[in-house]
């Protein structure tokens, strides 16, 4: 089959996709995951239900893609807000690339955790991300898809950076990078989801210091 | 006013309270927080709605108390399962007492984190705790009550143990115990809520080692 789409129709498709993403995220934020429907998304996006079913097999699939799109935007914005520093940003930016390796593990982690804090504090991200996380917590199938498609790709970026640190002799021998990364993402996610105390850059810096240097005195 | 209740009627009250707690937890596990109602709890517990309203001002209040009761039971069971070792268990046992101080911070933390893992893996705890956590994540008011009544009292036990460690010279100077404790509860909660990888005793032990000794090599 040949692709009969003209440049104009692809532009229309891109616009429709973006409208569908925006509608899905707004709805899940307002009414929660379980009351968000394909019908509701279609009505809000001003497209037919068939348009959605042509591109996505399920509500979960629309939401995962919308969310990935959102995280990429948030990450790009956070990188933009950093000004000249530019590169980096939060790993939840999906395809958004590796954690920088300047040779200074703590500095690189501070930078990525600060960007993650900014993203978690961003209102456009917070509502839909909470709705999706809450549904994954009670519905194991949604949770598994959320973890596989959205979370694990981010965690792999931490594991990669920690493996580079290991190769450079910056990790205690025998540590498992897949466990070590949880000392960073665990505390930040805990504060964000449970809203125990403010999520700030100072907090991100403290977590990096505590985890890298440990709680026990160093000789 | 004098309390006219006889021993028989207090026994009946205790039985009714327990039936109401059980009904509330079963319902929230089955249908979720938002679809759990005082009417539904009353019907399932076999009591009148008025009985519930006499003791609790709201659905949230019944659930918080039911949950505290459940956590105490789970903690007592975990302590029982430990056999002769007895004392200790998970701090989510509410009133359930302090984290032991044997003078060995890592050993004390391993013990409490293993008990927490057992509790998180217990089916009787898992369902209602997920339902309550998920609601708190999307509803800030429920979340604040959950944190104040259930979570912070547990976290204070960690902070107390870490302050004792500080006094004993077992913490790097200048660390904030309220932040340090998040290196333990953050990763465990992350694995539990998001179901990324299995929550095991080995994992609890690794988290304690990584956090206490740090990721960077020690001279």
Task: Report whether A44 contacts A23 (CB < 8 A).
Answer: yes
Domain presence at residue A115: yes
Residue A80 has pLDDT above 90, yes or no: no
pLDDT band at A78 (very low <50, low <70, confident <90, very high): low
- Kindly tell me if the per-residue pLDDT of B157 is higher than 90: yes
B15 assigned to some structural domain: no
Least confident range from B139-148, B164-173, B176-185: namely B139-148
pLDDT of residue A1: 45
Q: Which residues make Cβ contacts (< 8 Å) with residue A134, sequence separation at least 6? A: A32, A33, B134, B135, B137, B138
- Alpha carbon A43 to its chain centroid, in Å, reads 27
- pLDDT for the residue numbered B85: 41
B21-25, B67-71, B157-161 — which is least confidently predicted? B67-71
A69: confidence class by pLDDT, cuts 50, 70, 90? confident
Q: How far is A195 from chain B (nearest CA, A)?
A: 7
Chain mean pLDDT for chain B: 88
Quote the CA–CA distance of B114 and B112 in Å, as a whole number.
5
In the numeric block, the tokens 């379980």 are attached to A34
Lowest mean pLDDT among B50-54, B74-78, B172-176: B74-78
Distances (CA, A) of B219 to A109, A172, A187, B174: 22, 10, 27, 21
Query: Does the distance separating the beta carbons of A155 and B194 come in below 8 Å?
Result: no
Longest dimension (CA), chain B: 70
- Report the pLDDT averaged over residues B14-38: 92
- Contact state of B183 with A211 under an 8 Å Cβ cutoff: yes
Q: Is the Cβ pair B138, A146 closer than 8 Å?
A: no
Residue A21 pLDDT > 80: yes
Residue B99 resides in a domain: yes
> DSSP state, B92?
G
Lowest mean pLDDT among A138-152, B65-79, B104-118: B65-79
Does the pLDDT at position B55 exceed 50? yes
Encode pLDDT of A169-206 as tens digits. 999 999 999 999 999 999 999 999 999 999 999 999 99
Share of chain A above pLDDT 70, in %: 87
Mean pLDDT along residues A143-155: 92
What is d(CA A68, CA A17) in angstroms, rounded to the nearest whole number?
A: 13
Q: Is residue B218 part of a domain?
A: no
In this prediction, residue B93 carries a pLDDT of 45
Measured between beta carbons, which residues in chain A are less than 8 angstroms from residue B173?
217
Is A20 part of a structural domain of the chain?
no
Exposed e or buried b for every residue in B116-132, given b needs 16+ CB within 10 A?
bbbbbebeebebbbbbb
pLDDT at A88 over 70: no
> How far is the alpha carbon of B20 from chain A, nearest alpha carbon, in Å?
22
Which pLDDT belongs to residue A81? 60
What mean pLDDT, rounded, does chain A reach? 88
Q: Are A200 and A113 in contact (CB under 8 A)?
A: no
Q: Is the dihedral of CA A8, A11, A15, A20 positive or negative?
A: positive
CB-based contact A91:A156 (threshold 8 Å): no
Q: Copy the structure tokens of residue A115.
A: 């960007």
Q: What is the pLDDT of residue B87?
A: 42
Nearest CA in chain A to B140: A195
Domain harbouring A180, CATH code: 1.10.357.10
A133 CA to centre of own chain: 11
**Within its chain, how far is the Cα of B212 from the centroid?**
23
Tell whether the model's pLDDT for residue A2 goes beyond 60: no
What mean pLDDT do residues A151-161 have? 95
**B91 in helix, strand or coil?**
helix
| Side-chain half-sphere CA neighbours of B147 within 13 A | 17
Instruction: Let me know if residue B135 belongs to a domain.
Output: yes
Domain of residue B79 covers 59-213
In this predicted model, what pLDDT tens digit does every residue of B127-154 receive, in sequence order? 999 999 999 999 999 999 989 988 999 9
**pLDDT confidence tier of residue A209, bands split at 50, 70 and 90:** very high
Residue B79 CA, distance from chain mean position: 14
Is the pLDDT score of B4 beyond 60? Answer: no
- pLDDT-derived band at A83 (thresholds 50, 70, 90) equals very low
Interchain CB distance below 8 Å, B187 and A182: yes
Checking if the pLDDT of A85 tops 90, the result is no
Q: Give per-residue pLDDT as tens, A50-66.
A: 999 999 988 888 998 99
Q: Is residue B174 part of a domain?
A: yes
Cα distances (angstroms) measured from residue A197 to each of A154, A187, A203, B147: 24, 11, 10, 10
| pLDDT of B37 over the 70 cut | yes
Q: How far apart are CA A74 and CA A88, in angstroms?
A: 12
Q: Is the pLDDT of residue A39 over 70?
A: yes
- How far is Cα A165 from Cα A159, in angstroms, rounded to an integer? 10
Q: Rounded to an integer, what distance in angstroms lies between the CA atom of residue A100 and that of residue A110?
A: 11
Contact A138 B196 (CB under 8 A): no
Question: How many structural domains are present in chain B?
Answer: 1
Rounded (5°) CA angle B137-B143-B145: 170
Q: How far off is chain A from B202, nearest CA to CA, in Å?
A: 11
Specify if A132 maps to a domain.
Answer: yes
B117-120, long-range: CB within 8 Å, 24+ apart, which pairs?
B117/B188, B117/B199, B117/B200, B117/B201, B117/B203, B117/B204, B118/B78, B118/B81, B118/B90, B119/B71, B119/B74, B119/B75, B119/B78, B119/B90, B119/B92, B120/B188, B120/B192, B120/B199
**What is the mean pLDDT of the segment spanning A23-50?**
93
∠ CA B172-B176-B181, rounded to 5°: 95
pLDDT exceeds cutoff 90 at B205:
yes
Distance from CA of B131 to the nearest CA of A (A): 6
Beta carbons within 10 angstroms of residue B34's beta carbon? 17
Number of CB atoms found within 10 A of residue A85's CB = 11
Distance (Å, whole) CA A192 – CA B143: 11
């Amino acid at each position: 089959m040949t692709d009969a789409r003209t440049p104009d129709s692809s532009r229309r498709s891109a616009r429709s996709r973006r409208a569908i993403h925006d509608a899905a995220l707004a709805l899940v934020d307002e009414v929660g995951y379980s009351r968000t429907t394909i019908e509701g998304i279609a009505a809000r996006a001003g497209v037919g239900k068939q348009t959605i079913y042509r591109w996505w097999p399920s509500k979960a699939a629309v939401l995962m893609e919308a969310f990935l799109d959102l995280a990429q935007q948030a990450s790009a914005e956070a990188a933009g807000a950093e000004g000249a520093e530019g590169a980096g940003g939060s790993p939840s930016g999906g395809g958004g690339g590796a954690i920088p390796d300047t040779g200074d593990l703590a500095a690189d982690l501070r930078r990525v955790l600060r960007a993650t804090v900014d993203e978690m504090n961003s209102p456009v991200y917070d509502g839909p991300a909470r709705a999706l996380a809450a549904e994954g917590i009670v519905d194991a199938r949604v949770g598994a898809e959320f973890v596989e498609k959205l979370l694990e790709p981010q965690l792999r970026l931490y594991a990669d950076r920690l493996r580079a640190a290991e190769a450079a002799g910056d990790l205690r021998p025998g540590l498992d990078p897949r466990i070590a990364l949880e000392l960073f993402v665990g505390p930040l996610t805990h504060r964000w989801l449970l809203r125990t105390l403010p999520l700030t850059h100072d907090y991100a810096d403290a977590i990096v210091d505590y985890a890298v240097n440990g709680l026990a005195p160093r000789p």
